[in-house]
């Protein structure tokens, strides 16, 4: 059965390639703003990931395993998505420096042949070191933070800011390999 990743994220594609050698990529057109945040970050990321997966499910004809994910950074229960611009990125990174925050990911796996839907979420705690304004500005100039939740990429240049991590590293990158593997085993 074919496997479809419902994500344009190069990071997720690279990570999935470690588990599955052959898969297709279909970018979901799901409007994430349709999912209302109602106080539960866990439920929110799972619902966004589910919306992406259902969008792809509705577009394909053949039976498939569909994988989708959504990742968000939170600081004191405030959601930090992708920054709107460089100024927003600066504010996000500045708010994270010297503090701990949480990265949540929702993962959905659908087996269309068996009509099985699995939803899971993970939470990882990340602590940043102190960062000077100059370091933040230099990092923003690289362009890396502009398409990442929380305005940093742990797997890239932003990893230098990470003092400590508690939980799944790959969750912070955007797709927990361990969690996904167990979910795929359950839906086969």
Beta bridge partners of 103: 73, 124
Name the token pair of 46.
């799972």
Q: Which residues are catalytic?
A: 70
Beta bridge partners of 129: none
CB 60 within 8 A of CB 26: yes
Name which of 62, 2, 6 is nearest 174 in CA terms.
Answer: 6
Nearby residues of 144 by Cβ (< 8 Å), 6 or more positions away: 152, 153, 156, 157, 158
pLDDT of residue 184: 97
pLDDT of residue 39: 84
> Tens place of pLDDT for every residue, the chain, 188 residues?
999 999 999 999 999 999 999 999 999 999 998 999 888 999 999 999 999 999 999 999 999 999 999 999 999 978 998 999 999 999 999 999 999 999 999 999 999 999 999 999 999 999 999 999 999 999 999 999 999 999 999 999 999 999 999 999 999 999 999 999 999 999 98
pLDDT of residue 88: 97
pLDDT of residue 77: 78
* CATH class in words for 2-187: alpha beta
pTM beyond 0.85: the answer is yes
pLDDT of residue 43: 95
Where do the domains of the chain lie?
2-187
pLDDT of residue 152: 97
């Amino acid at each position: 059965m074919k496997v479809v990743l419902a994500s344009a994220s190069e990071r997720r594609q690279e990570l999935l390639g470690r588990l599955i050698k052959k898969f297709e990529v279909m970018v979901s057109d799901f409007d994430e703003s349709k999912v209302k945040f109602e106080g539960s970050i866990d439920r929110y990321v799972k619902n966004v990931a589910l919306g992406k997966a259902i969008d792809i499910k509705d577009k394909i004809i053949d039976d498939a395993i569909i994988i989708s994910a959504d990742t968000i950074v939170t600081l004191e229960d405030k959601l930090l998505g992708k920054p709107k611009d460089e100024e927003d990125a600066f504010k996000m990174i500045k708010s994270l420096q010297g503090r701990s925050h949480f990265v949540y990911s929702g993962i959905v796996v659908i087996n269309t042949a068996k009509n099985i839907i699995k939803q899971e979420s993970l939470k990882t705690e990340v602590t940043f070191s102190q960062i000077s304004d100059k370091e933040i500005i230099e990092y923003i100039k690289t362009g890396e933070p502009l398409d990442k939740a929380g305005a940093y990429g742990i797997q890239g240049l932003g990893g230098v800011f990470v003092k400590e991590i508690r939980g799944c590293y790959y969750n912070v990158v955007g797709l927990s390999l361990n969690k996904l593997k167990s979910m795929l085993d359950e839906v086969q």
